[in-house]
Amino acid sequence: MLVALPSSVAFGVLTYSMLGPQYIGMGAMAGLVGAVALGLVAPFVGRTGGLISCPCAPASAVLTAMIAKLAGDGLTPDRILPLMAVTALFSGALQVLYGLLGGGRLIKYIPFPVVSGYLSGVGVLIALGQLPKILGLPKNTPLAQGLVSPGLWRWESLGVGAVTIALVFLAPKLTKKVPAAIVGLAGGIAAYQVLTIFFPALRTLQGNELVIGPIETGGAFLDLALDRLRSIGGVDLAAAKLMLIPALTLSVLLSVDTLKSCVALDTMMRVRHNSNRELIAQGAGNLCSFLAGGMPGAGAMGPSLVNVTSGGRTPRAGVIEGVFVLLALLLLGPLIAWVPIGALAGILIVVAWNMFDRGMFRLLRTHGGRSDFAVIAAVIAVAIFADLIAATGVGVALAILLFMRDLIRASVVRNKLTLAETSSKTRRPPALTAALKEHGGDGVLCELQGNLFFGTTDQLYTQLEPDLKARKYILLDLRRVDSLDYTAAHLFERMNAQLEEHGGRLLFSGMPSTLSQPRDFERYLVQLGVVSREGGVLLFETQDAALEWMEDRILEAQGLRAPGEAEPLPLEDFELFHGLGTESLAALAACVEERAVPAGAKAFAFGDAGDELLLVRSGSIRILLPLEGGKNHHLATIGRGNFFGELAFLDGGTRSADAEAKADAKLYVLSRARLQKHFERNETLTAKVFARLASAIGTRLRQADAELRALSER
């Protein structure tokens, strides 16, 4: 209470003094009532342990700016006061609405440079607003003129303010038990009383512009609440438009200020607050403050930290603080009237100093921080030379622009490889593999990432423009893409049309169509006509399937996929056995047996025993690694003229994966036991078979190494 009380009075005085000196006492009362209403209601509803709610700087700054604008438009204080009250009402109602709609999480995402710039701007405005008060300048004296005219200064007020500021800064070094604001306020009051000895005119309360003056009680609570409710009926459409932006700004800033304090308390007490419930609580507190005629406020950092470090860690502490403020209002009202304006101005100048983010200048020394500094500086400048509401809009707009700039600068192309550098998981005979190495430049795999929208599509087209001219097939893998808009979809249409002009095609893989609706890219592209049965971009469920399709087209273009390829391959045409000689092949043929595996059936399963090497005569076999949950990882596809099962053939262990026929397959089966039995007297032939097998496996490993190297280099 000792921390919240002087600041609440000061913010009330700061706000209402804009209406004229005669409203200063009303402002002090509004600050006290706001502290009582928020203190009694917000902790009871929000249940955030240790949080203290009271009038705060953002509330004072927004309402002060609103008063200045309305007064500039020619409105009288009698007209401005109801508009202020209804603005606070709308702000509290909006906070309740934010909480009910789950907006507690969203408000946390307001960029910190915007919040920092806004609070720093508020600090500068508070300091500029208090300089005339601490100097005791006559009303309506421009600050610039007053600063260079010492003859206009009230040295009594300046002395009280200087003592207050000095004691607030020195208090933490002298004592930790008494809050610095109370030490400074007590010192300012004492300094004023000393001055009354030498200047008897200061002992008068009426007409004394250096003190708060008589506190207006405002009558019974029920009558005041009814008057407030009646004021709503006097608000027409034109007035509502004037209040809309200030109320919206006030609700957001008070919510941000509260949640920022809650996060700090969570760290200290190792708990987690309920953001949405706390927003409802703050809105309810501000609604009650409106009914009672008080200032709006938020969960304040300073009083909350003092409360928690003193042992107040439950919601009851906040309620007790509100009770203490109420007792102070009832018992110390006459004494509050004698509080010097200079002392309150001194406290607010210290508050303004603490609000200003002096750490922003460190951003100038960092390469990536200069743009954030620019945002903070722009918000401060607009707050000072225009108004706080415009500053909020400018800050959010700049933050959005910087966010878009960062998205545009980040490359959406994660990786790009030609088919000479990577391949599908289909294991082909060496001759076909060599052909793909030679002509693989006709196809390219491009893995995309991030957001494909109007800000990044030009970058994507620039990076792929050379490939659109030189390649026939471009595969775009979208597994890591987060969003896609109409501009990107139109670009895909253009790219596909450009490739089709020279007999090529655009392909997609990794479409996240099984995820939530916002990322159902496949449906979106079908609806736009980018993908259709009659033509357009080709879709593949997996990247490997798309790579295999491109490889087949490249091989067909080279005439390497003959029509008779579907015929079962004889033993002598397997590259593994080339050069063995007719007699050796005839002897080897006696060791193999033929086997047919229909599509979908397994040649063997994970964990099966067996020492057989299987050679694909026709069709194809998929090697699948079983995973938890009934899923499989596709290791390879074994095509015609290739082999699988070599691990168990070499070490005699169990099968390490499933072998499933992708299409009807015919196999040669070579058992190691049968091979050794037939050639136990001819070790040379056995050695040749194992040597060729080792060479083929070595080639596969080298190919895998090359692909891994190509991936890691990018």
SS3 55: strand
Token pair for 546: 């798309």
CB 360 within 8 A of CB 352: no
The CA angle 435-553-615, to the nearest 5 degrees, is 60
**pLDDT number for residue 89:** 92
Residue with tokens 């706001």: 34
Nearest to 1 by CA among 257, 332, 278, 255: 332
**Pairing of β 538-540 and β 505-509:** parallel
Q: Please list the alpha-helical segments (H only) found in 101-139.
A: 104-107, 112-135
- Predicted TM-score of the model (pTM): 0.64
Q: What pLDDT was estimated at residue 220?
A: 58
Model pLDDT, residue 518: 46
Distance CA 433, CA 551 (A): 10
Eight-state DSSP code of residue 211: B
| C-alpha to C-alpha distance for 377 and 355, rounded to whole angstroms | 14
Q: Which of 540, 544, 547, 571 is nearest to 666 (CA)?
A: 571
Residues 6 or more apart from 222 whose CB is under 8 A from it?
A: none
The domain limits of the chain are 4-72+80-401, 413-562, 570-712
Pairing of strands 632-638, 612-626: antiparallel
Of the candidates 354, 390, 360, the residue with the CA atom closest to the CA atom of residue 377: 360
Question: CA-CA distance, 606 to 653, in Å (whole number)?
Answer: 11
Residues forming a β-bridge with 290:
none
Among 499, 373, 344, residue whose Cα is nearest residue 116: 373
| CA angle at 54 for the pair 49 and 55, rounded to the nearest 5° | 150
Instruction: Note the pLDDT of residue 492.
Output: 94
pLDDT at 221: 55
Spell out the residues 6+ positions from residue 512 whose beta carbon is closer than 8 angstroms to its own. Answer: 478, 479, 481, 519, 520, 521
Q: Token pair of 85, please?
A: 């009250």
pLDDT at residue 533 in the model: 67
Q: Which residues on adjacent β-strands are paired with residue 663?
A: 620
Looking at the structure, give the CATH architecture of the domain made up of residues 570-712: Sandwich (2.60)
Residue 430 and residue 268: Cα distance in Å, rounded? 66
* The pLDDT of residue 515: 43
- pLDDT confidence of residue 517: 47
How many CB atoms sit inside 10 A of residue 10's CB? 29
- DSSP character string of 456-505: THHHHHHHHHHHHHH-SEEEEEEEEEEEE-HHHHHHHHHHHHHHHTTT-E
Comparing CA positions, the residue from 513, 616, 613, 516 lying closest to residue 566 is 616
Q: Which residues pair with 613 in a beta bridge?
A: 670
The helix or strand, by DSSP H or E, that contains position 445, with its residue range, turns out to be: strand 443-452
- Residue 102 is encoded by which pair of tokens? 């789950």
**Would you give the distance in Å from CA 219 to the centre of its chain?**
49
**In angstroms, how far is the first alpha carbon of the chain from the final one?**
60
In 3D, which of 196, 178, 185 has the Cα closest to residue 163? 185
pLDDT at 225: 65
Whole-angstrom distance, CA of residue 479 vs CA of residue 86:
51
The list of the chain residues with pLDDT below 50 reads: 514-518, 562-564, 714
Which H or E element spans position 507?
strand 505-509
CB-CB neighbours of 604 under 10 Å:
21
Nearest Cα to Cα of residue 441 among 466, 415, 461: 466
Quick one: pLDDT at residue 471? Answer: 93
Tokens representing residue 416 in the block:
């790009």
30, 64 Cβ separation under 8 angstroms: no
3-state helix, strand, coil in the chain (%, to 5): 65, 15, 25
Q: Which CATH code, of 3.30.750.24, 3.10.620.30, 2.40.110.10, 3.50.50.60, is assigned to 413-562?
A: 3.30.750.24
DSSP class per residue in 511-575: --TTS-GGG-HHHHHHHHTSEETTEESEEESSHHHHHHHHHHHHHHHTT-S-GGGGSPPPGGG-G
